[in-house]
Structure formats: structure tokens, C-alpha cells
Amino acid sequence: MSKTRPVYLDYAATTPIDARVAERMAECLTAEGTFGNPASTHAYGRAARARVEAARTQVAALIGARTSDVIFTSGATEANNLAILGLARGARAARGAQAVHVITARTEHKAVLDPCRQLEREGFAVTFLTPVEEGRVMPEQLRAALRPETVLVSLMHANNETGAIQDVAAFGALCRAHGAALHVDAAQSAGKLPIDVQAMGIDLLSFTAHKLYGPKGVGALYVQQGRRVALQPLMYGGGHERGLRSGTLAVHQIVGFGAACELALQLMGAEATRQAALRARLWAGVGALPGALLNSPTVHALPGVLNVSFAGIEGESLLFGLTELALASGSACNSDSEEPSYVLRAIGRDRETAQSALRFSLGRGTRSEDIDIAIAAVQREVLRLRLLATDATAAGGAALAGAASGEAGTREQGTWVRFMLKAANGRIASASYQAYGCPQTLAVCEWLAGQLPGCPWADPGVGGALDWVEAMQLPADRLTRLLIIEDALRAALAAAQRQVAPG
Ligand SMILES: *Cc1c(COP(=O)(O)O)cnc(C)c1O
């Protein structure tokens, strides 16, 4: 296991390029290939332009658009920025910023939330909806939030953390009736769910190649030609892409994107069925664990995404222990201050629950053997961490009879530690611990439990938090957590002292 790479279950973060796609891309790189600038009028340029336009047709076909309605960008982040900033700033020219209102949701990707926050700084009014049911925005919520001055509604098709699928067609109908433009971030759904921009009433749609087995660094914005509100470009220079996105077109990227879209359209139906079955198998395994809580919707979820929290388990330690898997978590790794997943917090999960979440995202390369490896690994780690964090007074109390114990911290704080010591003849005869916390906390506790036996209880000489940070080369931001270990150890030593010398 250590020699081979971990099982990849993070397809929602990115996907490998399909070999057939890579082949098409390679044809556009070297001197023999289609390397020309599509803006050039000679044969090299015309050949490149022909390939770009063929790709544009493939990309448009995936979302039911006309070829001329697709603008190539560097990815979904840029497409979202162009749609949101471009539309609002375009409307400002006609009405003034105060008269421009935008609606979005708290569970959107940062690539939507951050441009919306930028709009607020520029004086625009923005409403952030909080999803109600299973992380989905209800059409009635949108209806209630629409104002006469609402020009743009930006709501995603499928959520990147939970896989929740929104009723985009209902949003489209409301926006059409109201005269507001609907922008949809479809980075997670394009190539996985059927999309028809015309039928769904979508005015602007963002997606990206690297989430659908194409290359990183290329995406598209669907912008209906003859749109009602003019987009203001983010960049100027050359007037490429209908003046909305200047810059020489990345032919190899665009050709790869086109090929990936064509493949996705062919494979979508069968892959959705296959992945849904794998997802069900995964949930049957991990959902049976005590304390497992589904964060993904039961029905309206992407076939390949399963988000699960494990009550009472520290998320960072859980992820750390799953060495045979590559997947994402809801925990705010490597930071004492950062909130765990804002998406899970927005759908009503408390900090601890959000912190203990794992996002499994399956893809074309996922096999049932991978699911079985994942289930076994999660079962092992959840049971191990739960045992480690189990309150001894409730459970294993008898086995620790006669031990002096001391504890510090709380689970709400993110760290809880208890040491149990037995003393004999002035020395520590045995030491054990229980802990809930980050991997470093658990490692220091484990190390201490090994060091303490044989040490004089009055002064065991194992040092304190500062020494442990140095000796074990731990990140300095872990110091506050290690101080909790130090407190727990002191408390246990004090209890041992009282036990050995009563009165
Ligand atoms: C990945 C993702 C993005 C960002 O796409 P890039 O092409 O990497 O910029 C935006 N929105 C959602 C929902 C995503 O999953």
C-alpha cells in the first residue's frame, strides 16, 4: 500500500485528462501541429481557428447552446467573475450602483461569493440566501428575495461540497418572469447532469474543463447573444471573444475542452448510473458506522458525491489516518482560526460536525474495489479515534481502576485530553491517555504515554508544550493545543500525588 498511490476519491477537486483528450491536445503544440494563432489570416491561423470553432461547437452542444453563445475563459473562476462583475458593472452604467441588486446564496463556491462581496464594496446591494432544505435554495426563497432593481441572480447547479442539485429550471422561470438575468455556476454539473440553457431559462452559465476530464486552465461562459444586459469585460486588448475576453486563444486547451465535452456527452448517462451505484455501496458501508451523518441530499445529489460527518470524531485526525485515500474534508486543516467548511455551516451543521466531514467524490476511474478500500479505511479510523476519545468514566473505567487521572480542554475547543497514571514506589508504573484532537495532539499524547512509565512522578522530566513543539518539529500554531496536553498531564500528576500521599 505504501508503494502505490492512494485511491483517488477527489474528482470534485479535479480530474485527470482523458487519454483521448490529451491526444487531441498534443496535435496543437509542435511545429507539425496546429500551433498557429487563430487570429492570423494565413493558413496556420485558419487551421487553428477551424479547430477552435469545432471545439466551440462541441462545448456548446454539452449545454444545449448555439456555438456563437460560448466565450472561452481560463476556467470557471474567470467565467463567474466575468458574469457577475461584468453584468452588475454593465447595469451600473445605465442605472447607478444603488439601483442594482444581486441575489446569490451562502453555499456558493468562493469564485461566486468573492466577486459578490467585491460588488458590495463597490456599492451594489447583494442578498445572500441561506438554503433551507438539504442545502437547497427553494424557489419560494428566491421569489421572496427578488426586488424591482434585481438585475442578476447567481445560483449554482450542483454544490461542490455536498453535491446538492438545485432546481435551476424553477429559478430560470422566476428570473424570466421578473426580468432578472440568471447566472449558473455549473462547474460541478457540466458533463455529469443534462443541461439545456434554453429550456432551463439560463442567461449565463460557467463551467470548466478540468472537472470533466479536460485540461486545467480553460473554461467557458455561456452568454446568450443579443442578451438583455450588456456585460462589461474584465480585460481589454484585442477584442477577442466578442470583445468580452481579450487575449490569444489557447488552442490546445480549447481543443482539449471540446474533446472532453464531446466524450462527457457520450458517457454521461452510463457514468451517472454506475457512480450512483458505487455511491450507494459507499454509503451502505460508512453510513452504518455509529454517528455517521449524511450531509448530501438523499435524492437531489450528484451521483458521484457523498459528504458524511462522523459525530465525536476530529476531522483532521480522521483525514490524517486515512493514508490509503486521497479525499477532501470539511476541516479547517492547518489553522487554529479558520472556520470549518462554510458550506456545511450554512446548511445548519455545527462547527464540530462540519469539522468531522469527509467528501468522497467518485469519477470515471473509480472501481468497486476502491469503494471497499475506502469503507475499510474509514471504519478502521472512525473506530480507532472514537475509542481513543471515549470517556473512560462511562466506558473503560473498570480497566483503569486505581489510576489517577487528570484532564483538560473540551471537544468544543477542538482538543480534549485525559491522562491516567498509576504510581508505585515514587515512580509512574503505567500511563495511558484518551484524546480528541488534531494529529499532532494525538502524536504527543502517544509519545508521552510511552515516555512516562518509570519516571519519578514528582518530576517526570518530560518537558512541556514548548519542548514538544521543538523536539517533534511541530507547527508553532499547535502550541495552544499542546498547552492543553500539558495541563492534563499536570492535573494527572497532581492527582497521583494526592493518591500516593493522602492528606
Ligand atoms: C472548481 C469549481 C470552480 C472553479 O473552477 P476553476 O476552473 O478551477 O476556476 C468554480 N465553481 C465550482 C462550483 C467549482 O467546483
Cell numbers for 47, please give them.
487551421
Asked if residues 114 and 126 have their Cβ atoms less than 8 Å apart, the reply is no
Mean pLDDT of 265-281: 98
DSSP state of 370: H
Distance of alpha carbon 460 from alpha carbon 423, whole angstroms: 12
Do 290 and 223 share a structural domain? no
| Helices and strands in the chain: count of H runs, count of E runs | 14, 16
- Ligand 1 mean position to 53 CA, how many Å? 24
Do 414 and 380 share a structural domain? no
Would the CB of 75 count as within 6 Å of ligand 1?
A: yes
Would the CB of 220 count as within 6 Å of ligand 1?
A: no
Cβ contacts of residue 76 below 8 Å, gap of 6+?
109, 111, 185, 187, 206, 207, 208, 211, 219
Q: Specify which residues 427 forms β-bridges with.
A: 424, 456
Distance of alpha carbon 159 from alpha carbon 302, whole angstroms: 8
- φ, ψ of residue 191 to 5 degrees: the values are 85, -5
Residue 187 above 90 pLDDT? Answer: yes
5 found inside a domain: no
Residue pLDDT, tens place only, 113-157: 999 999 999 999 999 999 987 889 999 999 999 999 999 999 999
Q: Give the number of domains in the chain.
A: 3
- φ, ψ of residue 471 to 5 degrees: the values are -65, -40
3-class DSSP assignment, residue 163: coil
Report the CATH number at residue 384.
3.90.1150.10
Which pLDDT score, from 0 to 100, does residue 70 have? 97
DSSP character string of 217-243: T-EEEEE-TT-SSPPPPS--SS-TGGG
- The pTM is what? 0.92
Mean pLDDT of 18-31: 98
Ligand 1 atom closest to residue 111's alpha carbon, by position in its atom list: 10
- φ, ψ of residue 157 to 5 degrees: the values are -80, -55
Do 287 and 186 share a structural domain? no
Question: What confidence tier does 226 reach under pLDDT thresholds 50, 70, 90?
Answer: confident
Mutate which of 165, 188, 206, 254 for ligand 1 pocket (most atoms within 8 A of beta carbon): 188
- Ligand 1 mean position to 201 CA, how many Å? 22
- Ligand 1 mean position to 187 CA, how many Å? 5
- Ligand 1 mean position to 111 CA, how many Å? 7
Quote the domain boundaries for residue 130.
Answer: 23-265
Of 237, 265, 293, the residue that ends a domain is 265
Do 188 and 40 share a structural domain? yes
Of 340, 358, 389, the residue that ends a domain is 389
Q: Is the sign of the CA dihedral 74, 77, 81, 82 positive or negative?
A: positive
Do 188 and 89 share a structural domain? yes
Closest Cα to atom 12, ligand 1: which residue? 187
Q: Specify which residues 182 forms β-bridges with.
A: 153
Q: Where in the sequence numbering do the catalytic residues fall?
A: 333
Of 364, 389, 414, the residue that ends a domain is 389
Cell numbers for 491, please give them.
492535573
Mean pLDDT of 167-192: 97
- Of 250, 274, 257, 271, which Cα lies nearest the Cα of 212? 257
220 or 290, which is more confident? 220
Asked if residues 344 and 295 have their Cβ atoms less than 8 Å apart, the reply is yes
398 or 194, which is more confident? 194
Do 492 and 378 share a structural domain? no
Do 302 and 170 share a structural domain? no
Residue pLDDT, tens place only, 51-108: 999 999 999 999 999 999 999 999 999 999 999 999 999 999 888 877 899 999 999 9
340 found inside a domain: yes
Mutate which of 109, 162, 210 for ligand 1 pocket (most atoms within 8 A of beta carbon): 109
Question: What confidence tier does 253 reach under pLDDT thresholds 50, 70, 90?
Answer: very high
12 found inside a domain: no
Which pLDDT score, from 0 to 100, does residue 3 have? 65
